[in-house]
Amino acid sequence: ESEDDSIPKFNEYLDFTDWLVTQPKKELETNVVDPNNSDDFSKSASILSEESQKTSPPFKHKKEHAPTSSTRNNESEEQSSSNSNDMNDQIISTDTSATTRTTKSVLDCDNRIPESVLRYERQMKKARQEGRLGKYVGIEQLKVIYIDEHIVVIDKPSGVLCVPGLNRNPYNITQVVFDAFGCESDRVDKMIVHRLDMDTSGLVMFARTNVALSELHRMFRDFEVKKKYEALLCGNFVTKDNNSIIDLPLQRDHRFPPFMRVATPESEREASQVVKDLQHHGWKKLVKKKPKPSQTQIRVLNKETLDYNYNDDDGDRSSSSLPVTRVALIPLTGRTHQLRVHCAAMGHPIVADQSYGFLGEAAPNGGYEEEIMENCPQNTSSRASLLLQQDIDNVVKATEKKMCLHAKEMLLVHPVTSMKLMFQAPSPF
């Protein structure tokens, strides 16, 4: 892929922490843009000058929604307690010098996972996920890639909610961005353009004016915003063409809602029967939705290893390397969990994916039965074995590794000025 040098690239974090610390509260509250004054919105959305990076954003700065220090301390203590309990169930435990590895395995003699084990692990993971609040990020910790009077782009860390969700969780990056920079409508929900999963890191864009919000919604809906992700996959991913396209339709998984799966004739028949049963028992308005076409372009970037040290059963220190593949993923469609399901269906789930990876809450293999995975010629030669996935999962638990999926690049035309822009954020893994 050739890059156009004429397109401005924004790939460095802006330093606005000095302004946040020293700016008087009175000045922050009075420095508000008048939406009826066209002069206030006449600035260009080109590269920020040094002066504009240090001055106040043109909207209200609000802090009343930010959690207090005592709230953060309590949440930190609860998270620490939760982590210590989770570690008791791990196959690998850690000390200050090395990882201790035992021979315990959830696989049976045929290297398959018994259904009873799957059910138990899913319930355990579900309970742990429901107890997660999402990591708190303060205003001073925001990684801002770009900001002007119409939009702001940040690099979201893994483990942070993008939006409040149904439970109105206060620990979300949208609220932090709103508190830091505000928006024309003075409503936090009027900044949301798109979102990332809580465990996915990378670029997120927010709107600061109504005209930018409306145009960005249209651009994302019409696939005019080009995004590129980077991921680590379990095993050695092999493809004949290094710009292959995964073309697998997706549907809501009726067995494991609200997760997604690859649609097959059998899953379609089962889903139709489930809808009929629910309609018969009072859910009259429930309608079965057709599977949606879904395409992902995948390109291998590098073959790597996940290295770790451990103590064997005899107490001797040893080390091992587990094969992983670094890939670039370009979503050609925008389905829920598309990248994660597609990678799992290819036999190479994303490293540390707690939903679609090893013993995840969703259906294994992206919904494919084990017999299909074993007999598919495309998967037979390169598929990450369950034993390898188990070893990688053990290392992920012991090291508390985050999901290795990162929104690395975004290319679009500015929603107001029509200037071509490219944003980049380095991968944290």
Residues known to be catalytic: 197
Within a 13 Å sphere around the CA of 421, how many CA atoms are in the beta-carbon half?
A: 27
Q: What span, in angstroms and rounded, lies between the C-alpha atoms of 202 and 219?
A: 19
Instruction: Please give the distance of CA 408 from its chain centroid, rounded to a whole number.
Output: 11
Q: What span, in angstroms and rounded, lies between the C-alpha atoms of 143 and 202?
A: 10
Q: How many CB atoms lie within 10 A of CB 221?
A: 10
Could you please report the per-residue DSSP string of 7-20?
S-EE-S----HHHH
Q: What span, in angstroms and rounded, lies between the C-alpha atoms of 247 and 297?
A: 9
Within a 13 Å sphere around the CA of 347, how many CA atoms are in the beta-carbon half?
A: 24
Q: What span, in angstroms and rounded, lies between the C-alpha atoms of 403 and 389?
A: 14
CB 340 within 8 A of CB 243: no
CB 333 within 8 A of CB 121: no
Q: How many CB atoms lie within 10 A of CB 378?
A: 13
